[in-house]
């Protein structure tokens, strides 16, 4: 049964009532943006998969605590960012080099397979752009980078970013603005170094 | 559209090219400057947004959160989640508690802060009035602030001159109107 027309609250109400099928629609709705953000934060597609998987499972297991007074996606993104931090700590115990290698095979990246008219070169360029962005974000203070991920990867409103980051709405805006300004400076510096 | 809304459009890949935003930028040098400063970073996100592989796709192999939802089960026999730690569930529960209590608490904090700010401003006003009365008995009266009709911003908005006005002149006009001193 197609439930894509239902909003998050309606879907979660059904899940809370014991009909678990609608959770599938929520997973399909948010998996992509969450994966994108987790990959850019952790720098490893397998870790990102694990964290996103765990975020969905945690939301499912704690479904009884969901309250329609807050938005589901705000809750989900809050869980994801917290799990990413935990993941970092967990991995620190089993150290492994974290980097967005420019030589990462494109097939390993957690992104969609290209459509047929794409060439190998365009796939490579696309992967490079994503890596460039992820590398730049990794150089920013965590709060600014997270605010940018929430705004641009998650498409969250500033009020929602404030909820996820437990800040005021104006602080969320300042983080996004300062993050963009810092990113612009980094890009300018990179360009200066290349030319 | 005000400057706040303009920033929201500017940072939304779907609205970054809206007519409203363009109209606002024509009349607002401050937002125009900001757009120029942030342009390289915004372009990076716009490229990422438009890239064909922007949205990650589920990997065909491997366990999925969908398994949990699709296994036949009932309330008495909930499915056994895979890869789930107690810590993760705690995180979800704590987040839910925080989010459900957050809004009123924040509103209350803001209300308290506003109350303190109002009291502080009234106090400052009283102090300045008293001090001004004692010290400035013989001092000449403050120069009157320019009339609203002389405000360059208002004039610019009225005659669509914003593009031709140098930013220095705009700043001077703001200072003249809003920070009039002795």
Digit-by-digit pLDDT tens for chain B (182 residues) are 889 999 999 998 888 888 999 999 998 999 999 999 999 999 888 877 766 554 444 444 444 444 444 444 444 444 444 568 888 899 999 999 998 887 554 555 666 677 788 888 888 888 878 777 666 555 555 555 555 555 556 555 555 555 566 777 767 766 766 665 44
Q: From CA B148, how far away is CA B6, in angstroms rounded?
A: 25
Flag if A55 and B88 touch (Cβ within 8 Å).
Answer: yes
Flag if B59 and A49 touch (Cβ within 8 Å).
Answer: yes
Q: Which two tokens stand for residue A144?
A: 């600014």
- Which of B66, B74, B87, B88 to mutate to probe the A interface, most A CBs <10 Å? B88
Flag if B11 and A180 touch (Cβ within 8 Å).
Answer: yes
Min Cα–Cα distance to chain A from B112, Å = 15
Q: Which two tokens stand for residue A156?
A: 């969250």
Query: Where in B9-152 does DSSP place strands (E)?
Result: none
Instruction: Give ipTM to 2 decimals.
Output: 0.79
Which pTM was predicted? 0.67
CB of A69 closer than 8 Å to CB of B103: yes
Q: From CA B166, how far away is CA B169, in angstroms rounded?
A: 5
């Amino acid at each position: 049964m197609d439930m894509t027309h239902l909003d998050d609250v309606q879907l979660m109400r059904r899940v809370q009532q014991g009909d678990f099928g609608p959770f599938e629609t929520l997973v399909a709705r948010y998996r992509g943006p969450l994966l994108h953000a987790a990959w850019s934060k952790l720098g490893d597609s397998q870790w990102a998969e694990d964290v996103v998987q765990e975020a969905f499972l945690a939301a499912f297991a704690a479904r009884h605590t969901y309250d329609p007074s807050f938005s589901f996606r705000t809750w989900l993104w809050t869980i994801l960012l917290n799990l990413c931090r935990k993941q970092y700590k967990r991995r620190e115990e089993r150290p492994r080099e974290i980097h967005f290698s420019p030589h990462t095979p494109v097939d390993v990246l957690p992104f969609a397979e290209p459509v047929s008219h794409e060439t190998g070169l365009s796939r490579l360029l696309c992967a490079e752009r994503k890596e460039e962005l992820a590398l730049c974000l990794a150089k920013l203070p965590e709060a600014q980078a997270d605010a940018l991920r929430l705004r641009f990867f998650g498409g969250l409103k500033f009020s929602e970013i404030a909820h996820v980051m437990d800040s005021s709405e104006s602080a969320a805006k300042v983080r996004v603005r300062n993050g963009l300004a810092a990113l612009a400076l980094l890009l300018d510096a990179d360009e200066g170094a290349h030319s | 559209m005000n400057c706040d809304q303009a920033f929201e459009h500017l940072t939304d890949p779907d609205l970054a090219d809206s007519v409203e935003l363009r109209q606002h930028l024509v009349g607002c040098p401050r937002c125009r400057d900001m757009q120029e400063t942030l342009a390289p970073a915004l372009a990076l996100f716009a490229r990422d947004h438009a890239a064909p592989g922007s949205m990650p796709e589920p990997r065909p192999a491997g366990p999925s959160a969908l398994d949990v939802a699709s296994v036949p089960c009932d309330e008495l026999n909930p499915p056994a989640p895979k890869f789930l730690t107690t810590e993760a569930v705690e995180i979800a529960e704590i987040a839910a508690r925080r989010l459900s209590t957050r809004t009123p608490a924040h509103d209350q904090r803001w209300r308290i802060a506003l109350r303190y700010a109002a009291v502080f401003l009234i106090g400052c006003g009283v102090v300045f009035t008293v001090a001004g009365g004692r010290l400035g008995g013989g001092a000449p009266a403050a120069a009157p602030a320019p009339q609203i009709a002389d405000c360059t911003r208002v004039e610019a908005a009225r005659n669509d001159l914003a593009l031709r006005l140098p930013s220095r002149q705009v700043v001077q006009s703001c200072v003249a109107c809003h920070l009039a001193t002795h």
